[in-house]
Structure 1
Amino acid sequence: MTSGHHPRDAMRRLRALPGLQAVTSYRREWLLKDVIAGIVLTTLLVPQGMAYAELAGLPPISGLYTSILCMLGYAVFGPSRILVLGPDSSLGPMIAATILPLAASNGDPQRAVALGSMLAIMVAVVMILAAVGKLGFVADLLSKPTVIGYMNGLALTILIGQLPKLLGFKVEASGLVEECVGLVEELSAGSLVPAAAAVGIGGIVVILVLQRLLPKIPAVLVMVVLAIAATSVFGLGSHGVSLVGTLPQGFPPLTLPDIRLDDLAPLAGGALGIALVSLADTISNASAFAARSGQQVRGNQEMAGIGAANLAAGLFQGFPVSTSGSRTAVAERAGAKTQLTGVVGALLITLMLILLPGLFRDLPQPALAAVVITASLSLVDVGGTVRLWRQSRVEFLLCITAFLGVALLGVLPGIALAVALSVLNVFRRAWWPYETVLGRVPGLGGYHDIRSYPHAERLPGLVIYRFDAPLFFANAKTFRDEILRLARTDPAPTWIVIAAEPITDVDTTAADVLEDLDETLNAEHIHLVFAELKDPVRRKIERYELTRTIDTRHFFPTLEAAVTAFRDQTGARWTAAPPSPPDIR
């Protein structure tokens, strides 16, 4: 009966695809701009794709396969008009940390490719499930201080890991400390290849100088062309410099990754970490570029788009991808209007592989290391770290701990530590929230923090106390202890009014603590009074049956109403600050 509606539903869903919507609303005047931007973008995609593939422990060709398929996948399913996806410097070490232990040292490159492809498919599954479950908020699990520390640690890890390739030798080591030791040992043993070092260091200088002085010129492409020219002129291959060699010809075939069953568990752990970093990166980049173009960020659709891009890459011998702020900026500066820019880039890379697979055969490996190292430098945020030191020592320590976690434990444990630190920091703020006593300041409306206004007036017998957090199992005893300390000051108050507007919730543990606290205060002839309690919290208190002990007449809609009731009952008058004001931690 309902089967007749299925074709219409399918057509409706099909028309809702961002790619098809972009086609139907495409303007003819955009075409030339998108094509030119696609050509410019390709000059960056090819060398970076190969470089980031090697950073991930995979053959350079897989970086090009990944670039082609992920851009096509995102063009159909991704909501952003100009975001550029592809192999990413921040994901490379995470991919390598996941697949290389499974592939084993000197293992079969084809096995590494299969593991990388399966990892991309698993990232796609995580992203698509998260999109269906509307879980875009999980990107918020990485706070800014921990992201800064993580990225700084990642940059150092990439830099140290790429130095041997830059200088023309290899170091067999795992972990930053071992790599540093191995680097020093190889240099001491005279393993440095002068020609390789000249190409690599020269490449870094060319990229950084051009990016600084001539930002509109594709610095990476210029460096790559110069490096290939140097190989031809000076015969670098015969001077011990490793070259990329001829790439496999043709478009990558559809390939289902052939892996072992016991590979799935370690791959799943890596996929979760990669998905989290990719999502956080994508949401931040999407927000930045959407703000410039007037678009809205659709987090769940972005996850679906990233999932589609990873799935396409994984089915064609690729590896996990993310958005790139630098490549997106290049596309934007070149005049990109839609995802046709990425499609043009994918087509050009495909044509290169079909018609000119030997185009980059003379590209020195140290030049690829230079591409990766300069990309890693963009991950460093020294200014942000210094700002944290000046503004918040606690968040600075979080940043440094995340940095050390990546540098000393590795990138995957580092991302787990960064998430844990972010969550613990939220918990810390709720566990030990800000709390204070309020007083009246002549000439200012309302009631104000006595820390900011130490001469604020008080009413004898009344304490107004504010607790800036929901009341739950972890902080309920802190709340109780402070109330009891206020109750036992001299002279003792007769009313303790809770300025309850910041208290957004009360759990069952806190409810039990409140009940015991009220009974204790009642025995000392002190009333616990609530003002500005939110309606949902008030209903919870009634459901917990706390009104058996807390007098319902001691709930007031505003602080002013509570203060007025106290003054009407006692005749108290405002006085200057007492000689020994209550001390709030």
Structure 2
Amino acid sequence: MAAHATSRLGALPRAVPGLAMLRSYRPSLLGKDLVAGLVLTTLLVPQGMAYAELAGLPAITGLYTTILALLGYALFGPSRVLVLGPDSSLGPMIAAVVVPLVASDGDTGTAVAYASVLALMVGAITVLAGVFKLGFIADLLSRPTQIGYMNGLALTILVSQLPKLFGFSVDADGLIGEAVAFAEAVSDGETVGAALAVGAACLVLITGLQHLWPIFPAVLAAVVLAIAAVAVFDLADRGVELVGELPSGFPPLTLPTVPIGDLGLLLAGALGISLVSLTDTISTASVFADKTGEELDGDREMIGVGAASIAAGCFQGFPVSTSGSRTAVAFQSGARTQVTGLVGAAAIITVLVAAPGLLRNLPQPALAAVVIAASLSLADIAGLRRLRRQRRSDFVLALVAFLSVALLGVLYGIAAAVGLSILNVFRRVWWPHQAILGRASGLRGYHDTAYRETTEHLPGLAIYRFDAPLLFANARTFRNQVRRLAAMEPRPVWIIVAAEPITDVDTTAADMLADLDTELDEAGTRLVFAELKDAVQAKVRTYGLAALSDDRFYATIRTAVEAYAATHAVTWVPGSSPYRLD
């Protein structure tokens, strides 16, 4: 009984890494973690409020979310330096789900309930993905689609915040609608000069300092100066909208409820948000694991970020993700453990309890500047240019992902980006690279004739390489190409398939091979395989393909070529192979 209890106690720190960290915490680290936590707080407060409004929610919910995300990840997350919280990339997605559902009444309480349910769903999906080791789903967004998606998201965020920066609001949906409404409002003279001045000044200050002095808390400087400007220049009397008094204290534990009929729409949104959150978290965690020398545990990272979203959802919060910029600030400020996040959470709680009016004079255009600065950091124009130089098909993929987000909206855009990534993989399996191999003077082995000038060949022999698993999707492609080779003049006597890249053969492809072999034999051409992996050969045998006997398989291309030359008494002759791919 005692041994069983000891086992349970030993398993607890493994399930809750934060407890293990606290049990072994060295007091000598407290100074660095304390300083890093306080520096981080200066960024967490304004960004949390700004990203909450970006999600269509009250600013205070951003602070609630930040606190619970820090606490949840500190307990369940494996990384010692990763910082979670409200995120600019998730804000538009949350708004895209929540705003249409509450559009009829516009009640903020209802919006918060929907966002909290969304957080619980995202958290549950993410935790389950970690428990069942489904980290590979983060790979559903390829790098080109990520670049396109992020650029589209950056443009969407920028356009959505321009009205607030100029001191007015617009009633429009979608990127084009918001852009047109903004342009019409500006032309109609609705711009509030004082609002634009303070917002533009904050934006220039933030972007300038981030470029010239990255470690300096540029957002804090902009916020402090904006609040000071309100007092000095009476900006409230000049039409500048302020954040106003925040609720004091901490929200109670709340289990949100929404109509059952809306759960399906929320779940669809939660799946997209989970994917983006996981992709962001895994990529950021990988970078900082390299910096700190830690080993990345993707499954535990998913559990950690899921726990953070669940914690936020229980206290009037919304879904969260990892922030690369905030993690970088914490790391550069000396963060060594999750205590940094605990210090940040405690500092925000202190603000809410002891000084809730501290930010009441913060101008809304300043928050818009914070969000726009974040959107500019999401944009990766250089990445698009690099893709255009490196691979035109990947550039087109990124461009389509960008247009999907910009024109269809964030949720449809992420669905399109995932679909494009999957289709791109399928396309490469469907139409893999194929080659005819030959011998080149001065080089050992057999080489792709499209890239090497071959100088000799064996009459009647074609060496064909197929660079993909042989599956239902590409079986027709393989068959048609082999048929075209077999029909060339002079008709090949043997077609050797350089099969080292063929890592699998499914039943559809096996049936195709059986039919193709019979067809070629009747026409006088023999199909043989070289370098097919033992595991794949064994699989082919289990399919019961009598035609593909053991004498059709050779360990290397060289042994297959030597067998052909010996069987047909031919020697190498000058000149390149007469066989070509279409």
Q: Shorter-chain TM-score: what band? A: over 0.9
Counterpart of 1:439 in structure 2 is 438
Pick the aligned partner of 2:567 from 566, 569, 576: 569
Counterpart of 2:418 in structure 1 is 419
Kindly indicate whether residue 352 of structure 2 is the aligned counterpart of residue 359 of structure 1: no
Counterpart of 1:272 in structure 2 is 271
1:502 to partner: Cα distance:
0.5
Counterpart of 1:208 in structure 2 is 207
Counterpart of 1:7 in structure 2 is 5
Counterpart of 2:331 in structure 1 is 332
Task: Return 5+ residue gaps in structure 2 as ranges.
Answer: none
Query: Contact between 1:454 and 1:577, CA under 8 Å: does it hold in 2?
Result: no
Q: Which deviates further from its counterpart, 171-180 or 352-361?
A: 171-180
1:510 to partner: Cα distance:
1.0
Query: Contact between 1:36 and 1:334, CA under 8 Å: does it hold in 2?
Result: yes
1:105 to partner: Cα distance:
5.6
Q: Which deviates further from its counterpart, 447-456 or 241-250?
A: 447-456
Query: Contact between 1:118 and 1:257, CA under 8 Å: does it hold in 2?
Result: yes
> Please, what TM-score do these two structures have when normalized by structure 2?
0.98
> Residues of 2 paired with 1:332 and 1:186: CA distance?
43
Query: Contact between 1:450 and 1:456, CA under 8 Å: does it hold in 2?
Result: no
- Secondary structure of the residue aligned to 1:466 is strand
Query: Contact between 1:466 and 1:498, CA under 8 Å: does it hold in 2?
Result: yes
1:37 to partner: Cα distance:
0.2
**How many residues in Structure 1 have an aligned counterpart in Structure 2?**
581
Pick the aligned partner of 1:556 from 554, 557, 567: 554
> Residues of 2 paired with 1:228 and 1:142: CA distance?
40
> Residues of 2 paired with 1:240 and 1:296: CA distance?
52
> Residues of 1 paired with 2:89 and 2:379: CA distance?
11
Counterpart of 1:582 in structure 2 is 579
Q: What aligned pairs does 1:379-394 form with structure 2 within 5 A after superposition?
A: 379-394=378-393
Counterpart of 2:287 in structure 1 is 288
Q: Which deviates further from its counterpart, 550-559 or 186-195?
A: 550-559
Q: What aligned pairs does 1:33-112 form with structure 2 within 5 A after superposition?
A: 33-104=32-103, 107-112=106-111
Counterpart of 1:197 in structure 2 is 196
Give the aligned CA root-mean-square deviation in angstroms: 1.2
1:328 to partner: Cα distance:
0.3
- Secondary structure of the residue aligned to 2:357 is coil
- Secondary structure of the residue aligned to 2:541 is helix
> Residues of 1 paired with 2:498 and 2:4: CA distance?
56
Any idea what the Cα deviations from partners look like across 1:175-219, whole Å, max 9, x if unmatched? 111111111121122111111111111110011111122222100
Q: What aligned pairs does 1:126-275 form with structure 2 within 5 A after superposition?
A: 126-275=125-274
- Secondary structure of the residue aligned to 1:358 is helix
1:101 to partner: Cα distance:
0.5
> Residues of 2 paired with 1:576 and 1:67: CA distance?
73
Query: Contact between 2:441 and 2:454, CA under 8 Å: does it hold in 1?
Result: no
Query: Contact between 2:123 and 2:306, CA under 8 Å: does it hold in 1?
Result: yes
> Residues of 1 paired with 2:482 and 2:3: CA distance?
64
1:93 to partner: Cα distance:
0.2
> Residues of 1 paired with 2:334 and 2:573: CA distance?
68
Any idea what the Cα deviations from partners look like across 1:527-579, whole Å, max 9, x if unmatched? 10111111121112112222x2234212111111111111111222122334x
Query: Contact between 1:248 and 1:357, CA under 8 Å: does it hold in 2?
Result: yes
Counterpart of 1:542 in structure 2 is 541
1:9 to partner: Cα distance:
4.0
Give the residue type in structure 2 aligned to 1:65.
Answer: Y
* Moved segments of 4+, more than 4 Å: 3-6
Give the residue type in structure 1 aligned to 2:415.
Answer: A
Counterpart of 2:460 in structure 1 is 461
Give the residue type in structure 1 aligned to 2:548.
Answer: I
- Secondary structure of the residue aligned to 2:165 is helix
Query: Contact between 1:470 and 1:503, CA under 8 Å: does it hold in 2?
Result: yes
Task: Return 5+ residue gaps in structure 1 as ranges.
Answer: none
Counterpart of 1:311 in structure 2 is 310
> Please, what TM-score do these two structures have when normalized by structure 1?
0.98
Any idea what the Cα deviations from partners look like across 1:20-57, whole Å, max 9, x if unmatched? 12113322221100000000000000000000000000
- Secondary structure of the residue aligned to 1:529 is strand
> Residues of 2 paired with 1:445 and 1:80: CA distance?
49
Counterpart of 1:371 in structure 2 is 370
Give the residue type in structure 1 aligned to 2:554.
Answer: F
Query: Contact between 1:159 and 1:373, CA under 8 Å: does it hold in 2?
Result: yes
1:106 to partner: Cα distance:
5.7
Any idea what the Cα deviations from partners look like across 1:267-310, whole Å, max 9, x if unmatched? 10111001000000000000000101111110000010011101
1:511 to partner: Cα distance:
1.1
Counterpart of 2:489 in structure 1 is 490
> Residues of 2 paired with 1:393 and 1:296: CA distance?
35
> Residues of 2 paired with 1:576 and 1:105: CA distance?
80
1:6 to partner: Cα distance:
5.4
- Secondary structure of the residue aligned to 1:90 is coil
1:581 to partner: Cα distance:
2.7
Query: Contact between 1:247 and 1:358, CA under 8 Å: does it hold in 2?
Result: yes
Q: Which deviates further from its counterpart, 79-88 or 214-223?
A: 214-223
In structure 2, the CA distance between the partners of 1:456 and 1:416, relative to structure 1 (3 Å rule), is farther
> Residues of 1 paired with 2:183 and 2:217: CA distance?
34
- Secondary structure of the residue aligned to 1:437 is strand
> Residues of 2 paired with 1:437 and 1:577: CA distance?
14
Any idea what the Cα deviations from partners look like across 1:86-124, whole Å, max 9, x if unmatched? 000000000000001011166110000111111100001
Query: Contact between 2:439 and 2:454, CA under 8 Å: does it hold in 1?
Result: no
Q: Which deviates further from its counterpart, 93-102 or 477-486?
A: 477-486
Query: Contact between 2:249 and 2:352, CA under 8 Å: does it hold in 1?
Result: yes
> Residues of 2 paired with 1:444 and 1:25: CA distance?
60
Give the residue type in structure 1 aligned to 2:580.
Answer: D
> Residues of 2 paired with 1:558 and 1:229: CA distance?
77
- Secondary structure of the residue aligned to 1:338 is coil
1:440 to partner: Cα distance:
1.5
- Secondary structure of the residue aligned to 1:463 is strand
Query: Contact between 1:200 and 1:367, CA under 8 Å: does it hold in 2?
Result: yes
1:4 to partner: Cα distance:
7.1
1:260 to partner: Cα distance:
1.3
Give the residue type in structure 2 aligned to 1:342.
Answer: G
- Secondary structure of the residue aligned to 1:452 is coil
> Residues of 2 paired with 1:98 and 1:346: CA distance?
27
- Secondary structure of the residue aligned to 2:472 is coil
> Residues of 2 paired with 1:432 and 1:471: CA distance?
11
Query: Contact between 1:455 and 1:576, CA under 8 Å: does it hold in 2?
Result: no
Kindly indicate whether residue 448 of structure 2 is the aligned counterpart of residue 449 of structure 1: yes
Give the residue type in structure 2 aligned to 1:550.
Answer: L
Give the residue type in structure 1 aligned to 2:578.
Answer: P
